[in-house]
A and B are shown apart, each in its own frame.
Chain A
Amino acid sequence: MKKVLTQISIILLVLSISSAQSNEKCSPDFEMSKSSIVNNSQNDSLEKGEVFVFFDQSTTMQGFTIDQPGQENLYVNIVDDIQQIAENIGSDTIYQNFGTEINPMSDREVAKVKTPKFYECSGSSVECNNQFSSIKEIFSIAEDEPAATHIVITHLNLQDSQLLASDRESITDPLTSILKQGKSIGIIGVMNSFNGKIDNIPLRSGDYTEYLDAETRPFYILVIGNQDNINRIKDNIEENHFSSNKENFKYALITSSPILQNLNENKLIDENNMPTKLAREENFNFSYMEDYLPVYKFTGNKQTKLKFKIKNNQIVVPGSTGVSKFSISEKVWTTNKTKCKDIKGWNEANFGTLSEITQNNDELVIDLFTEKPLKKLFRGVRYFYKIDVFADKPGNSSEKEFSDWSVNSSDIDKFTQSNPVSFKTLNLEKFVSILNAVSGDTFKKTLIASFVVNFNLTK
């Protein structure tokens, strides 16, 4: 009998507590916005795909294989590395050469890639004089083989005509498709010794010229595939050859999603994202709502400073174009009861823009209540202020990365006449900008973080 009574009491107690709690409305009702970031690595199957390696066989590439006294020649080693990596990351490695056309290569021919002979032109003089690297073909293949990793080793000198009209579309359309499928393009640039001829240098007159006096010149490894493989290749090259001096190494990642992750997913937001002083405010409490949404709860005053900071490296894929524009979505609910147990309901406020988001080199800062200062709010009112942080537009950091190795067609004439020792790549920046533009078009507004400030003011 006693046991029964005890059990009944416990049940009644639990019911009353839950009933009391159910009457409390410590937070308003709203839909939790969840991240839409697709983890690319999770999308990839565990199976290794094919690796296509394309060697630019144009004559001018020969200069990378001949040593230049006094200059370091990494071309051969890097080609070796790429072959090695390709074998590692792919289930099957297919080597091809390209110039105006793409041709498969036998194993024997692959070995010759490091020799000058590989790059000798065996065609007619007309063909040999009109050589150009048809990069668009490779993008087309990459579009057709989205699961594979495509590695291209080329000088990347592109004529204006290759970046205009239908040729441009031949690059942008497959690239769009590639990026939409969650793939990325890594551009690894290596300033290497050069001892050869740089041809097809456009002159102002409309003719072309060549240059023989360059001692260094960059070559590029374009990697089209998933980010993991791109990073592996890049890391491998960087570690093997540029661990101490990165001056002759450049890297950019063109991706449809430069966003690394959503911070809420793995509960990466904590008290330290807000100023330390906030933790000293009255009744301060930090917790996660529904295991997803961080809530900063406190009793403040009208002088309380609120700045939410996120490190860039937590949200931006390293080497990527980054994000050039962030935005915030704000919602505020109010109630004229400050104590949780007294709150019966919340009202949705219509405050408009309250806060400002800015980005510097290291971090993303959300300065709360800059547009509508705390002093304009009311004491004795509880505010539930939810902020969603979005990346709106990718950045163009990669263009800047390669700008000092790039020369436009309008300047190359003059540049050549200046007898440069280190020869720049024609239209490199333009090419990267086209890739960035495509990545920008494919970019979707992404939620990177959400948090709540639940507060009332006392003075």
Chain B
Amino acid sequence: MNMKHILRSVLLSAIGLALLGWVSFWFTTLNAFGPDGESNLLQWYFDNLVQREEITSSGMPWEDLAVSLYNLLAQMTTALLSITVVAALLWSVGSHFLNVNAPGKAKFYFIYWIIFTGIFMAIVVGIVFWFTKSAEFNAADYLSDGGVIMISAISFIYYFLVYYLGVLLGTARFARSSILFGNKIPVSELL
């Protein structure tokens, strides 16, 4: 297999990932630094993600408790971004090995992409679940049901989009019909 084409795919995939992926990176960094008393984010978390009444009734200041939540979110978004990058690059490289050896064959590999994407999304859901529902992180206790749903929904949609842009640009040219709307990409020597 031509390494040049594969490297090109990897580069394009990285560009695709970066288009939206920078947001995750910025968000992770923001959380990694921990809560800032003045921060809108701290208040937003309190208003939207956590069990406000439980936290208020516990008597502990939210800023103190939020440290572990920030840590949880930083680790979670790191894991999610990593898996997204790995999945997109894996598909982009792997698409060069799909046996599209004749005209009209690429679209039959759509099912491969669906399955691959399905596995990826299941991993995303699993990661979110592990962070927000399992016993591994104490801060998961702070999250309200609505908060968990919000985190799950945003993660699901956002990381799918990041992954999708990565595979949209990174998929081998001859296999583009195997991904959703891949055939809509305009023909260009750059893409």
Contact = CB atoms under 8 A, between A and B. Distances in A.
The reply, when asked whether chain A contacts chain B directly with Cβ atoms under 8 A, is: yes
A350 B59 contact: yes
Contact of A349 (B57, B61, B64): B57
Contact of B57 (A335, A351, A379, A459): A351
A376 interface: yes
A380 B55 CA distance: 13
B75 interface: no
B182 to A, nearest CB: 45
Interface in B15-70: 54, 56-61, 64-65, 68
A380 B57 contact: no
Nearest to B135: A459
A378 interface: yes
Interface in A313-343: 332-336
Given A335-B60, A347-B59, A350-B59, A376 B54 contact: yes
Nearest to A376: B54
A378 B141 contact: yes
A378 B59 contact: no
B142 interface: yes
- The main secondary structure of chain A at its interface with chain B is loop
B139 interface: yes
Contacts of A333: 59
A380 B139 contact: yes
Interface in B129-145: 135, 138-139, 141-142
B58 A379 contact: no
Tell me what chain B mostly uses at the interface: helix, strand, loop, or mixed. helix
B61 A347 contact: yes
Interface in B59-97: 59-61, 64-65, 68
Given A379-B141, A380-B139, A459-B135, A348 B59 contact: yes
Given A380-B139, A459-B135, A352 B68 contact: no
A343 to B, nearest CB: 12
B60 A347 contact: yes
A376 B61 CA distance: 18
Interface in A345-378: 347-352, 376-378
Given A380-B68, A459-B135, A334 B58 contact: yes
B60 A380 contact: no
A381 interface: yes
Identify the interface centre among B54, B58, B135, B139: most chain A CB within 10 Å of its CB.
Answer: B58
Contacts of B58: 334, 347, 349, 351, 378, 381
Contact of B59 (A349, A377, A380): A349
Contacts of A377: 141
Contacts of A376: 54
A376 B55 CA distance: 10
Contacts of B141: 377-380
B60 A350 contact: no
B59 A336 contact: no
B62 to A, nearest CB: 11
Given A377-B141, A378-B54, 17 more contacts: A332-B59, A336-B64, A336-B65, A347-B59, A347-B60, A347-B61, A348-B59, A349-B58, A349-B59, A351-B57, A351-B58, A376-B54, A378-B142, A379-B141, A380-B68, A380-B141, A459-B135
13 contacts: A334-B58, A334-B59, A336-B60, A347-B60, A350-B56, A350-B59, A376-B54, A378-B54, A378-B65, A379-B138, A379-B141, A380-B138, A381-B58
Interface of A: 332-336, 347-352, 376-381, 458-459
